[in-house]
Structure 1
Amino acid sequence: MSTQPSASVLAILQRLLSFDTTSRESNLDLIHWVVGYLAEHGVAATLTHNDDGSKANLYAAIGDATLPAIVLSGHTDVVPVDGQRWQYPAFEMSQADGRVYGRGSADMKGFIACVLAQVPQWVRLAAEQRWQRSIGIALSYDEEVGCLGVGRLIADLQARQVPVAGCIIGEPTNMRPVIAHKGIAHYRCSVQGRAAHSSLTPQGVNAIEYAARLITHIRKLADTEASFGNRHPLYDVPFTTLQTGLISGGNAANIVPKSCEFVFEVRWLPGDHHERFVSSVGDYAASLIQEMRQVAPEADISFEQLVNCPPFQSEEGCEVREHAAVLCGCHGGDAVAYTTEAGRFAEAGIACVVCGPGSIVQAHRPDEFVELAQLAACEEWLSALQSRLVLIV
């Protein structure tokens, strides 16, 4: 087994890492570069854009379009580097100690580079009519902020009636198959009270204090799940979790705060329903509103859903899971607490497995890296997948 990826993988990865595709930015420069790369090899791409046209998904097919596709899927956006200390340039490729450094190297431009490097070989096999399946290449936008873009890509595939046999999402799993993951939902809670001079606190309604009571309620729900909730032994965190991640409010220490806002999340197991936790928080908020309005009739508490990504669990016997089992030399697979676009694909009835180079431990960190050996392993894995999908002559 080689520990070094091909020169083409590194050349493509160097180009991909040079694009700042932080989710708040456009990904079009990267997408247009990929369109041009594919066109050089005679492969046409279809783009689906966001509402203002500043971002795009890409889908390209290699082989007979009437054959069901094995889709190789990756997201193009990355998380910010703000506030992080990097030893290496974040948006350049650096090599040291058997690693490639750069934002997105593990999550997940390394996988995309490995896929694109295979295109010339796959096109040659298509010209020889060797494929038993077509190969789909899917690149999405805004995965890091709630799997927002891939829905339009999937809708486009459905509208064009593209047959899909299954999807492999190349998130960093150390090239081990992931067959299940949790869902994630984010909610913003806005608490509106009444401002007052801090010497006259009974005349005000302290929005921060009422928000704190709601946050405490969320923590109690989390503790109950940790102690008594359903368990799934495959997961590193085997129960549903809740936590509050952001909070802001108040203007000065001597003013009873009128407003407070916080964001909380739920990560739930397949088969569970996160709405039950949101309903509990909403019911408790309703009781607090009654209490607040005894002082300030204008007081209120409202909720806004920001993110809702479904959980994922693959079905035994599906084609992509069988491929992954053979190629990874294992039965079954792992389950993880983080969320991927597999939930969106599975929701649309597309069988999935998650498998890609690098470790999720490195994702989102300063000096993010992927090991060269992992890129080489991904190349070999894709070559072995190719062998399973082409006719032997």
Structure 2
Amino acid sequence: MTQTLDILERLIGFDTVSAKSNLALIDYVQSFLADRGFQVHRVPDASGQKAGLFAVLGPVGKGVMLSAHSDVVPVTGQDWTRDPFRLSVDGARAYGRGTTDMKGYLASMLALADRASKITLREPLKIALSYDEEVGCVGIQHMIGKLERTIGAPRACFVGEPTEMQVAVGHKGKAALRAVFLGQGGHSALAPKFLNALHIVGDFLAELRKVQDTLAMVGARDEAYDIPYSTVHVGQLSGGTALNIVPDRAEMIFEYRHLPADLPQDILERIQSAASKALTPFLRQFPHAAIEIDPYNAYPGLDVPADAEVVVTAQGLAQTNGTTKVAFGTEAGFFDALGIPTIVCGPGSMEGQGHKPDEFVTLDQLALCDGMMDRLLSQLTGASDS
């Protein structure tokens, strides 16, 4: 625990909000691992301002991979009572941005890496550290194609997002979309002669709500989730430049989060049909009106059978008998899509502490995570086959 907290203190000190560079943290982790004999493969992004890494220690083979992300959500506008980028241990809690999501897990990973470097492994320990997870799992999408030719696919992958150390076997997939609405501008005194783009938006919103109602009533259901059906959500809307000008353009940012049984293409077709229904009445008078929909980002969901070998293994390591499914998305679906058995398990509570001011992780949760890492180390050395 002392070593994990020491490493966590270093990690919290790096301001890795997604809008900023993460290179200082990556430099630290790369040096930490290389000094302990890991083969480290740095994976920079196109801008040169972000990077992830894959690393491996031990003999040639599949082994087990631990996966984390380096970025954190912003603190701007939040009412913190302490420095968010300085670890503060107070009683049974360790405070700081990212303690729960998910530098606590990363610190435990690195403490394990240190212990693993001092003994002989029977099979390899592999590490994946990504960037820009908080803005839609962007970094791992650029990195995943390099996994096989750098450290090779593992026999199992554990993604350490906060689950209160429960074994999570599922989460929904997500697609982020941008809709642009094109009308005809003019003076507001003659508003009926023109096409207000925000009027198109209003009708489209009404049709989107019908899509949501359909998904809730007749779409797939999974009662393991708090919201047991696929969802559609509008997050941002903008349009217009002045009160006395009819807006000729508006923009909406929205998403859908889908259960694995609801195919993304089917939901997208429902959304496109909703756009057509909203637009058609305007086309009679304004033939150049349009709704342009761009699905600009997506990540896959995760749905692992509760009796899968990776689940049983993870339950043994985490010393828990149950499974859960989480409301938030993770990078696990990308590994699962490669055929890598993957679950999610990490310290802290996303609902209780994640993304909030005065974010913290309890020392008990970190101790449970360190215990899981110790049992994994025993397995990798052959001391335990559990």
TM-score range, shorter chain: over 0.9
- Residue 187 of structure 1 is matched in structure 2 by 177
- Residue 87 of structure 1 is matched in structure 2 by 81
Q: Displacement of 1:316 after TM fit?
A: 5.0
**Residue 259 of structure 2 aligns to which amino acid in structure 1?**
L
Structure 2: how far apart are the matches of 1:284 and 1:118? 51
Structure 1: how far apart are the matches of 2:49 and 2:10? 20
Q: Which consecutive segments of 4 or more residues in structure 1 shift more than 6 A?
A: none
Structure 2: how far apart are the matches of 1:390 and 1:317? 25
Pick the aligned partner of 2:289 from 295, 299, 320. 299
Judging changes above 3 Å, is the alpha-carbon distance between structure 1 residues 269 and 32 closer, same or farther for their aligned structure 2 residues? same
TM-score between both structures, scaled by the size of structure 2: 0.94
SS in 1 for 2:181: strand
Q: Displacement of 1:331 after TM fit?
A: 4.0
Structure 2: how far apart are the matches of 1:81 and 1:56? 22
- Residue 353 of structure 1 is matched in structure 2 by 343
- Residue 63 of structure 1 is matched in structure 2 by 58
Larger displacement relative to structure 2 (383-392 or 258-267) = 383-392
- Residue 169 of structure 1 is matched in structure 2 by 159
Larger displacement relative to structure 2 (149-158 or 32-41) = 149-158
Structure 2: how far apart are the matches of 1:163 and 1:14? 31
1:212 aligns with 2:202: yes
Q: Displacement of 1:318 after TM fit?
A: 4.2
**Residue 24 of structure 1 aligns to which amino acid in structure 2?**
A
Q: Displacement of 1:167 after TM fit?
A: 0.4
Structure 2: how far apart are the matches of 1:246 and 1:340? 22
Structure 2: how far apart are the matches of 1:159 and 1:141? 19
- Residue 3 of structure 1 is matched in structure 2 by none
SS in 1 for 2:79: coil
1:108 aligns with 2:102: yes
Structure 2: how far apart are the matches of 1:234 and 1:383? 30
- Residue 52 of structure 1 is matched in structure 2 by 47
- Residue 133 of structure 1 is matched in structure 2 by 123
SS in 2 for 1:302: strand
Is residue 146–residue 307 contact of structure 1 (8 Å, CA) maintained in 2?
A: yes
- Residue 252 of structure 1 is matched in structure 2 by 242
Pick the aligned partner of 2:358 from 346, 349, 367. 367
**Aligned residue runs from structure 1 range 209-248, under 5 A:** 209-248=199-238
SS in 2 for 1:298: coil
- Residue 387 of structure 1 is matched in structure 2 by 378
Structure 1: how far apart are the matches of 2:78 and 2:138? 25
- Residue 378 of structure 1 is matched in structure 2 by 369
Pick the aligned partner of 1:28 from 23, 27, 49. 23
- Residue 16 of structure 1 is matched in structure 2 by 11
Is residue 174–residue 359 contact of structure 1 (8 Å, CA) maintained in 2?
A: yes
Q: Displacement of 1:280 after TM fit?
A: 1.9
SS in 2 for 1:252: coil
Larger displacement relative to structure 2 (270-279 or 140-149) = 270-279
Judging changes above 3 Å, is the alpha-carbon distance between structure 1 residues 285 and 107 closer, same or farther for their aligned structure 2 residues? same
Is residue 219–residue 243 contact of structure 1 (8 Å, CA) maintained in 2?
A: no
The C-alpha deviation readout for 1:291-340, integer Å capped at 9, x for no partner, is 33433343221111122111111245544322112233444511122110
Is residue 112–residue 377 contact of structure 2 (8 Å, CA) maintained in 1?
A: no
SS in 2 for 1:151: helix
Is residue 207–residue 277 contact of structure 2 (8 Å, CA) maintained in 1?
A: no
Structure 1: how far apart are the matches of 2:107 and 2:251? 41
Is residue 125–residue 380 contact of structure 2 (8 Å, CA) maintained in 1?
A: no
Identity percentage of aligned residues: 39
Pick the aligned partner of 1:342 from 332, 336, 343. 332
**Residue 148 of structure 2 aligns to which amino acid in structure 1?**
Q
Judging changes above 3 Å, is the alpha-carbon distance between structure 1 residues 97 and 220 closer, same or farther for their aligned structure 2 residues? farther
The C-alpha deviation readout for 1:213-240, integer Å capped at 9, x for no partner, is 1112112221232233321122121111
**Residue 275 of structure 1 aligns to which amino acid in structure 2?**
Q
Q: How many residues align?
A: 383
- Mark the runs of 5 or more structure 1 residues left unpaired by the alignment: 1-5
1:271 aligns with 2:261: yes
**Residue 343 of structure 1 aligns to which amino acid in structure 2?**
G
Q: Displacement of 1:194 after TM fit?
A: 1.0
**Residue 19 of structure 2 aligns to which amino acid in structure 1?**
R
Judging changes above 3 Å, is the alpha-carbon distance between structure 1 residues 310 and 23 closer, same or farther for their aligned structure 2 residues? same
Structure 2: how far apart are the matches of 1:332 and 1:124? 33
- Mark the runs of 5 or more structure 2 residues left unpaired by the alignment: none
Larger displacement relative to structure 2 (115-124 or 296-305) = 296-305
Is residue 219–residue 262 contact of structure 2 (8 Å, CA) maintained in 1?
A: no
SS in 1 for 2:155: strand
Judging changes above 3 Å, is the alpha-carbon distance between structure 1 residues 233 and 260 closer, same or farther for their aligned structure 2 residues? same
**Residue 162 of structure 1 aligns to which amino acid in structure 2?**
G
**Residue 43 of structure 1 aligns to which amino acid in structure 2?**
F
Structure 1: how far apart are the matches of 2:288 and 2:220? 40
Judging changes above 3 Å, is the alpha-carbon distance between structure 1 residues 154 and 69 closer, same or farther for their aligned structure 2 residues? farther
TM-score between both structures, scaled by the size of structure 1: 0.93
Structure 1: how far apart are the matches of 2:322 and 2:259? 18
